[in-house]
Amino acid sequence: MTTTPQATGLKIMVIDDSSTIRRSAEIFLSQAGYDVVLAEDGFDALAKINDHHPALIFCDILMPRLDGYQTCALIKKSAKFHAVPVLMLSSKDGLFDRARGAMVGSSAYLTKPFSKDSLLAAVREHTGQGQ
């Protein structure tokens, strides 16, 4: 490829009940040229996913009503969206949490608070955009 990788048009969904986390992720991703879709919880995400067809999903674990594990499992059970990478977000960095995320089909686990660099590196890694 002779041009730099273009992020434009690639949709990324961020599911988190914290407005601060959603806003931080939105700023980091938008500045890098990604289209960002925000969801406040699992139910909100499931309502929006069909309309927006995200290429990648960041999903908080601890959310009211429908937690991140349940949300990820439902996305992975969908014939239409099972191939979309789901990256779990959590303030906990335990082995059990990582294992449980892997069991429901998550592609990776990112600890909050995340940096701009770690967020964008995770996007590049899981969307095949390289360096």
**67-83: pLDDT as tens digits:** 999 999 999 999 999 99
What pLDDT shows up at residue 25?
A: 98
User: Per residue in 55-72, is it b (16+ CB within 10 Å) or e — as a string?
Assistant: bbbbbbbbbeebbbbebb
Q: Encode pLDDT of 86-121 as tens digits.
A: 999 998 877 888 899 999 999 999 999 999 999 999
What pLDDT shows up at residue 13?
A: 98
**In a 3-state reduction of DSSP, which class is residue 82?**
coil
What pLDDT shows up at residue 128?
A: 84
**pTM flag (> 0.85):** yes
Closest CA to 67 of 125, 17, 115: 17
**Model confidence at 38: pLDDT above 90:** yes
**Model confidence at 6: pLDDT above 60:** no
User: Letter for the amino acid at 116?
Assistant: K
What pLDDT shows up at residue 95?
A: 84
What percent of the chain has pLDDT above 90? 81
- Provide mean pLDDT across the span 39-57: 96
**Model confidence at 4: pLDDT above 70:** no
The mean pLDDT value of the chain amounts to 91
Half-sphere exposure of 100 (CA within 13 A, CB side): 16
